[in-house]
């Protein structure tokens, strides 16, 4: 078996994240129903690199802690390929095996980008809004039909996934940003969903939203409005929050994300700072897209967040059809930003997000190292085709 140290596994992850993976036709047939056909950063094969051996008892072992998660997009030009030999999974580079300890996770039945309830690893994603009122050029959510599913719709779909998958321990509420007039009802749906699943034993409820008050996005006294909303969602039962800044450079923010630019960088930071006060350190994160702005600007973003004890979450830019002129950054650029960001975070006593659940690192330039291993993450990845298909 290959012996890899942590740095090598992280480099392999970053390369797969950037370059994607090739599948021949036969393998694609075998993987029918396993490949994610989802939002651009969640499409492809969801893999666990190392740590898949069943007979390892000690959950703290070095072997298990060298695991990484990655969603590798399907790219027939990639030098990395995925193959199945005697029912076991292999990753090869230029036809030479580089990882023979591979786990694979799968979506729920018929899950697509339009599904307002979906599973990724051991986390259920609930889109409280399908579509978005935002106009960010790097994002495809605003191209989807605008819908606001009811609690009953959500419950039916979540229960179906739990029936298919078994043990799920957390819910992630996300989706696009709603029309201002819909927000009150959305909060009611959030409240009902949390109350219902809390009774079923789920304890972690993560909520992503743009800085806003209870009524509108732009407010005369944002601090008070942010406080009011954050206290309200905490009282409803939300346990962690994400407020995604995405771009630090103000000119580029205005160019690529006019909706976010109108709210303004200062208000993003104000809302995040207020969120740390209310939810506590370690429970607030903000996404930064690496590759849309110069490296130094991405690092300024990381520092501005780390300074206020927000965990920066680094996502590689994925070219989308609305922005074909911007190239995907190289794996080396992504890796360099990861290393430099870790240094900045250390200086301010924070860590990169996601930091609570290992499988959530699958589409971020983040490591699962130091994240405790849970039974649910183990049970959602399969190391043989037979297990994966059953």
Burial label for 355, CB within 10 Å (0-12, 13-18, 19+), is buried
Q: How far is the CB of 143 from ligand SF4 (least distance, A)?
A: 9
Q: How far is the CB of 96 from ligand SF4 (least distance, A)?
A: 39
When the beta carbons of 173 and 197 are compared against ligand SF4, the nearer one is 173
Cα(276)–Cα(281) distance, integer angstroms: 6
Cα(10)–Cα(329) distance, integer angstroms: 17
When the beta carbons of 262 and 369 are compared against ligand SF4, the nearer one is 262
When the beta carbons of 134 and 354 are compared against ligand SF4, the nearer one is 134
E-strand ranges in 160-261 read 170-175, 204-208, 240-242
209, 177 Cβ separation under 8 angstroms: yes
Q: How far is the CB of 174 from ligand SF4 (least distance, A)?
A: 8
Q: How far is the CB of 142 from ligand SF4 (least distance, A)?
A: 4
Q: Of the candidates 144, 135, 130, which has an alpha carbon nearest to the alpha carbon of residue 253?
A: 135
Q: How far is the CB of 133 from ligand SF4 (least distance, A)?
A: 7
When the beta carbons of 141 and 352 are compared against ligand SF4, the nearer one is 141
Here's the x/- map for ligand SF4, 126-145, by CB under 6 A: it reads as: ------x-x-x--x-xx---
What are the distances in angstroms from CA 360 to CA 104, 149, 191?
A: 14, 24, 23
Task: Tell me which H or E stretch contains 79.
Answer: none
Q: How far is the CB of 136 from ligand SF4 (least distance, A)?
A: 3
Here's the x/- map for ligand SF4, 286-325, by CB under 6 A: it reads as: ----------------------------------------
Q: Of the candidates 297, 312, 302, which has an alpha carbon nearest to the alpha carbon of residue 251?
A: 297
For residue 124, the Cα-to-chain-centroid distance in whole angstroms is 11
Q: How far is the CB of 8 from ligand SF4 (least distance, A)?
A: 33
Q: How far is the CB of 54 from ligand SF4 (least distance, A)?
A: 39
Q: Rule CB under 6 A: is residue 149 a binding residue for ligand SF4?
A: no
Cα(129)–Cα(131) distance, integer angstroms: 6
Residues in contact with ligand SF4, total (CB under 6 A)? Answer: 11
When the beta carbons of 104 and 190 are compared against ligand SF4, the nearer one is 190
Q: Which two tokens stand for residue 116?
A: 């307002």
Starting at the edge strand found earlier in the chain, the sheet holding 284-290 runs 117-120, 123-129, 170-175, 204-208, 240-242, 284-290, 311-316
Cα(9)–Cα(3) distance, integer angstroms: 10
Which residue's CB comes closest to ligand SF4?
A: 134
Question: From the list 157, 177, 304, 311, which residue makes contact with ligand SF4 (rule: CB under 6 A)?
Answer: 177
Please, what's the largest Cα pairwise distance for the chain? 64
- In the region spanning residues 208 to 227, those forming contacts with ligand SF4, defined by CB under 6 A, are 210
Q: How far is the CB of 257 from ligand SF4 (least distance, A)?
A: 6
The torsion angles phi and psi of 307, rounded to 5 degrees, stand at -55, -35
Here's the x/- map for ligand SF4, 247-286, by CB under 6 A: it reads as: ----------x-x---------------------------
When the beta carbons of 92 and 137 are compared against ligand SF4, the nearer one is 137
When the beta carbons of 205 and 256 are compared against ligand SF4, the nearer one is 256
Cα(89)–Cα(30) distance, integer angstroms: 12
What DSSP designation does 34 have?
T
Question: From the list 20, 103, 130, 176, which residue makes contact with ligand SF4 (rule: CB under 6 A)?
Answer: 176
Does residue 155 sit in helix, strand or coil? helix
When the beta carbons of 10 and 272 are compared against ligand SF4, the nearer one is 272
Cα(335)–Cα(337) distance, integer angstroms: 5
Residues making contact with ligand SF4 (CB under 6 A) = 132, 134, 136, 139, 141-142, 176-177, 210, 257, 259
């Amino acid at each position: 078996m290959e012996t890899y140290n942590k740095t090598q596994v992280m480099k392999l992850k970053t390369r797969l994240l950037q370059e994607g993976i090739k599948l021949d036709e036969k393998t694609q047939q075998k993987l029918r129903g396993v490949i994610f056909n989802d939002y651009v950063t969640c499409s492809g094969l969801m893999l666990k690199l190392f740590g898949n051996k069943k007979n390892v008892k000690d959950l703290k072992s070095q072997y298990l802690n060298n695991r990484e998660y990655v969603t590798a997009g399907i790219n027939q030009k990639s030098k990395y390929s995925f193959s199945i030999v005697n029912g076991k999974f292999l990753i090869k580079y230029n036809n030479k095996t580089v990882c023979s300890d591979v786990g694979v996770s799968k979506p729920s039945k018929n899950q697509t980008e339009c599904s307002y309830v979906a599973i990724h690893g051991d986390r259920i994603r609930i889109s409280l809004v399908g579509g978005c009122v935002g106009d960010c050029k790097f994002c495809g959510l605003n191209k989807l039909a605008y819908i606001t599913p009811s609690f009953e719709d959500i419950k039916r779909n979540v229960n179906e996934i739990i029936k298919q998958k078994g043990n799920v321990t957390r819910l992630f509420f996300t989706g696009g940003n709603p029309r201002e007039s819909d927000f009150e009802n959305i909060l009611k749906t959030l409240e009902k969903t949390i109350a219902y699943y809390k009774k079923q034993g789920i304890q972690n409820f993560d909520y992503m939203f743009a800085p806003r008050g209870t009524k509108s996005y732009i407010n005369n006294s944002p601090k008070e409005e942010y406080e009011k909303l954050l206290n309200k969602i905490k009282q409803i039962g939300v346990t962690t929050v994400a407020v995604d800044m995405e771009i630090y450079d103000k000119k580029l923010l205005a160019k690529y994300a006019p909706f976010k630019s109108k709210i303004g960088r200062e208000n993003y930071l104000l809302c995040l700072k207020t969120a740390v006060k209310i939810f506590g350190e370690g429970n607030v994160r903000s996404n930064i897209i690496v590759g849309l702005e110069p490296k130094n600007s991405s690092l300024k973003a990381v520092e501005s967040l780390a300074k206020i004890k927000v965990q920066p979450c680094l996502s590689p830019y994925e070219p989308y059809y609305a922005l074909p002129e911007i190239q995907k950054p190289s794996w080396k650029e992504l890796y360099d930003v990861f290393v430099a960001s870790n240094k900045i975070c250390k200086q301010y006593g924070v860590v990169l997000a996601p930091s609570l659940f290992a499988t959530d690192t699958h589409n971020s330039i983040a490591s699962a190292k130091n994240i405790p291993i849970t039974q649910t993450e183990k049970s959602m990845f399969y190391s043989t085709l037979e297990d994966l298909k059953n």
